[in-house]
Amino acid sequence: VPLWLVPAVPMVLVLAFCIPRLRPYVRGLVPFAPLPALLAGLADPGPMPLRLDWLLLGTDFAVSKTAATFLIFTSLLWSLAGWQLFRLLARDPAKDRTIACFLFAMTGNLGLLIAQDIAAFYTFFAMMSLASWGLVLHGGGVAQTFAGRVYIVFAITGEVALFAGLALGHFATGDLQLSAMTGDTVPLLATVLVSLGFLIKLGAVPMHLWLPLAHAAAPAPASAVLSGAMLKAGLFGLITVLPLGQTALPEIAVAFAAMALAGLILAPVLGLVQQDPKAVLAYSSIGQMSLILLGLAAALAAPGAWVLIAPALVILATHHAFAKAALFLGVPAVWSVDRGAVRIAVLVLMALPALALAGLPGTSGWLAMAEVETATAGAPAGWAIS
């Protein structure tokens, strides 16, 4: 699978969308746009690395083992959400604007997973973040406008911090490769700034304020990819640029742990008082991402434990992506069904991913949380989770 197809296919659909007579055909192709990314993630052996000297400052594409897993669940979620977006907005007058933003965000999300250089990674990350603003603003009402303002403030803050951190890292190392950000010569300030940019996208407390508002305002398919796929872009970024398994960063580890524990305590409490079901699911995502952040904190405190923590966090991220997407995509089904046996059946089906998120024994959530607990037990005293 030529890696350039991963971001090129959704981008070509965006360009085709600019031609009015092609729009009906493009709408039907949206669910198939992530197919090259899925094939790239499933390929064994993986696709050959690719360098495009003419693009940006010289763009490198490759698929690591971690990126392959992220590509698989991310592409599947974008495909499912695209299919429901096509159906849900069939008669919506603003559907074309939202579909264009959806394809732009998809391009950025899939592209950053294979980008190996700083310029391409930042470009794709910014494309994903800024295009998602259009998804939040879709309804055009007062609530959507307010949510959009909050979202764009946090998004721009994150982009500025990320750009500054990557620029400082490049200045210190003289290397444009993203992997150079894990080197010993990268100043702590650069690592802190880059982490801030990714933590905002991850929805870590106290940078989470945009998340419940955006989920409640956006259409359900957009909320599904915001939570299931785009939050994981923050996790992927942290895994990529932090010296996990190499160098202990106790200061950042303590900060991560404090934010994680605050999220684990606050998210359930605040989620219980929400009236909008999508806001409830958003606070659930904050709690789940806080658990992931706690695993990263343990790895930064004990680099030797990363070999165990890394697969545990990938399992947890994959489980959360599918379970949360199932719940978000199921919200319109609950709203559209009247009381009766059909509604009860829908609610019972919705309870399955909800119980998995709660860690019911025998579910993917139980397996993922057990893996995280086992992995973090290898961290220093005080990090163990009982």
How far separated are the first and last CA of the chain, in Å rounded? Answer: 44
Residue 382 has pLDDT above 80, yes or no: no
Residue 345 has pLDDT above 90, yes or no: no
pLDDT digits (tens, 9 = 90+) for 72-98: 999 999 999 999 988 888 888 888 899
Residue 384 has pLDDT above 70, yes or no: no
Tokens matching residue 91: 């008669």
Confidence band (pLDDT; 50, 70, 90) for 170? very high
Cα gap 243→90, rounded to integer Å: 46
Cα gap 9→103, rounded to integer Å: 10
Contact partners, residue 142, CB within 8 Å, separation at least 6: none
Give me the DSSP letters along 265-289: HHHHHHHHT-SSHHHHHHHHHHHHH
Residue 381 has pLDDT above 70, yes or no: no
Mean pLDDT of 259-268: 93
Cα gap 63→69, rounded to integer Å: 10
- The closest of 289, 240, 231 to 64, measured between CA atoms, is 240
Mean pLDDT computed over every residue of the chain? 90
Calculate what percentage of the chain has a pLDDT beyond 90: 61
Q: Where are the alpha helices (DSSP H) in the chain?
A: 5-17, 23-29, 35-42, 65-88, 95-114, 118-136, 142-173, 188-202, 210-217, 220-225, 231-241, 250-272, 277-301, 306-336, 341-357, 364-376
Contact partners, residue 231, CB within 8 Å, separation at least 6: 201, 202, 203, 285, 289
Mean pLDDT of 13-40: 93
Residue 236 has pLDDT above 70, yes or no: yes
Q: How far from the centroid of its chain's Cα atoms is residue 238's Cα?
A: 11
pLDDT in the model for residue 38: 96
pLDDT digits (tens, 9 = 90+) for 115-159: 999 999 999 999 999 999 999 998 888 989 999 999 999 999 999
Residue 246 has pLDDT above 50, yes or no: yes
What are the φ/ψ torsions at residue 338 (nearest 5 degrees)?
A: -75, 170
DSSP state of 228: I
DSSP state of 380: P
Residue 106 has pLDDT above 90, yes or no: yes
Residue 12 has pLDDT above 70, yes or no: yes
pLDDT digits (tens, 9 = 90+) for 173-232: 999 999 999 988 999 999 999 999 999 999 999 999 999 999 889 898 999 999 889 999
What are the φ/ψ torsions at residue 340 (nearest 5 degrees)?
A: 140, -170
pLDDT in the model for residue 380: 57
pTM: 0.92
Cα gap 196→243, rounded to integer Å: 15
Question: Regarding predicted confidence, which is higher, 268 or 346?
Answer: 268
Mean pLDDT of 158-177: 95
pLDDT in the model for residue 54: 92
Taking residue 54's Cβ as centre, other Cβ atoms within 10 Å add up to 6
- The closest of 200, 288, 306 to 249, measured between CA atoms, is 306
SS3 21: helix
pLDDT in the model for residue 332: 79
Confidence band (pLDDT; 50, 70, 90) for 386? very low
Work out whether the CA dihedral 118, 124, 130, 136 comes out positive or negative: negative
Residue 336 has pLDDT above 80, yes or no: no
Confidence band (pLDDT; 50, 70, 90) for 385? very low
- The β-bridge partners of 50 are 61
Question: Regarding predicted confidence, which is higher, 340 or 107?
Answer: 107
